[in-house]
Amino acid sequence: MTRCATGVAVLAAVAFVAWRVAAGPDVRGDLTRAALDVIDVTSGDTLRVRAHGAGDAQASDVRLIGVRAPADAAHAETAIAWLRDACAGHAVRVSYDHARRAGPDGVAECYVYLDDGRMLNEMIIESGFAKADTSRAHELSDWFARLEGHAKKKSAGVWARQ
């Protein structure tokens, strides 16, 4: 690798770290080691996943912690489509909140990261296709509420007509 290419790679890495620090808290310390394939999006806040390359192995549902999908049919379908597009071609990894691992219905609640490091929970709230779920506290409750505020200011997604 040439000195120029090495310098560009180092700058890119530093820029990414700076962006993550500026973007918000990082709870990736306990990311699952195994990549997961998204095999379906069952709602605007829930994915069906299985171990990467596991073929017909049993799938599990994973809910995006701190995310409340729209309840009305039009916005719900838009949120599902957005989530499908965001996951297309990506494997995901999950990180559990230290305070809780599952919702009252037993479905795992996680921070979900695409293979490029972006967090789906943040992305869908910031894009306005879902709201921050403030009904149960988690590590990033305040951060997600701020992201929702930014989406409102931009009139993004569900906030477009309000």
Q: Report yes or no: 20 and 117 within 8 Å, Cβ to Cβ.
A: yes
Alpha carbon 132 to its chain's center: 12
Per-residue pLDDT in tens (0 to 9) along the chain, 162 residues? 555 444 434 333 333 333 333 444 444 445 456 788 899 899 999 999 887 766 667 888 999 999 999 888 888 999 999 999 999 888 898 888 877 677 777 788 899 999 888 999 999 999 999 999 988 888 899 999 999 999 999 888 888 865
Residue 64: CB partners within 8 Å, gap ≥ 6?
45, 46, 47, 109, 110, 111, 112, 120, 121, 124, 130
pTM of the shown model: 0.75
What is the pLDDT, as a whole number, of residue 103?
Answer: 76
Residue 162: predicted pLDDT: 52
pLDDT of residue 25: 44
Alpha helices in 88-157 (DSSP H): 120-126, 141-153
Q: Are 151 and 125 in contact (CB under 8 A)?
A: yes
Residue 70 one-letter amino acid: P
Q: What is residue 118's predicted lDDT score, i.e. its pLDDT?
A: 92
Structure tokens, 101: 């691992």
DSSP code, position 13: H
- 127: its two tokens: 């894009």
Amino acid 13: pLDDT:
38
Burial (CB < 10 A; 0-12, 13-18, 19+), residue 135, is exposed
3-state secondary structure of 1: coil
> In order of start, what are the domains of the chain with their CATH numbers?
27-159 (2.40.50.90)
Quick one: pLDDT at residue 29?
Answer: 46
**How many angstroms separate the CA atoms of 142 and 44, rounded?**
21
